[in-house]
Structure 1
């Protein structure tokens, strides 16, 4: 299967998630808990360091 998320797209997706989280007035911790993922993992996604 082709790699659909290149580094640029991962960073853009992370920025979008962070923007939406902040607009919804959710803390990183709150969103991580709601999504069922760890705080560090969500933080890495938002910073474009990890592919979701």
Structure 2
């Protein structure tokens, strides 16, 4: 199980342009941005536009 978390973390990187932002990329190179929205006070996300 130890190596499994590392495999998951390989898909996730810090995205400091948004508060607590994380950029997640799939094996096809598409991405999703997850961040804390200070306006609404909740976690929000944006999917890559085609």
* TM superposition score category, shorter chain reference: under 0.3
By relative contact order (CA 8 Å, sep 6+), the higher-ranking structure is 1
Q: Larger Rg: 1 or 2? A: 2
Q: What is the TM-score when the length of structure 2 is the normalising length?
A: 0.28
